[in-house]
A = this chain, B = another copy of it.
C-alpha cells in the first residue's frame, strides 16, 4: 500500500437492507423506513442510514482493501448529502499517508452519488496487524 493507491467500490442499498440495518441496530427512524413519512420531510424519499453508508468503509477495509488483519483506529464522517435507497453510489478510497514503521495508513473515504457529488466525506486511520501479530 502506497500513497495515491486507490480503490473504488460500487454499491447500492435496497429497502430490505435498510430495514435489516434498522432491525439490527435499533435505529428505526421512520425517515429510513416509511416512504409516506419520508415524503413529509426535506428528503421526500427514504434515505439510507448514514452509518450504513459508513459501514461500507468498514467492510471494504476489513475484507478487501487492504483486507484481513486490518484494525480500524479512527474514522471521520461528514454527511454532506442524503443517500437514497436503491440509488447507485461509488465509495472511493485513496491512500493519503503511510507510516511503514507503525504499520499505519491514513485513507480518504468518499461516497459519490451518480452525479459525482460527495454524499459522505472523511478519512480513516488503519493499522495492519497481519504483519505484527
Contacts and interface: CB of A to CB of B under 8 A. Distances in A.
Interface string A50-78: 11101111110011000010111111111
Given A42-B129, A58-B51, A63 B20 contact: no
A113 interface: no
Given A42-B133, A50-B72, A77-B75, A17 B27 contact: no
A116 interface: no
A76 B79 CA distance: 11
Nearest to A19: B24
A23 interface: yes
A49 interface: yes
8 contacts: A26-B56, A41-B129, A42-B129, A51-B58, A73-B78, A75-B77, A75-B79, A77-B77
Interface of A: 17, 20-21, 23-29, 31, 41-42, 49-52, 54-59, 62-63, 68, 70-79, 129, 133
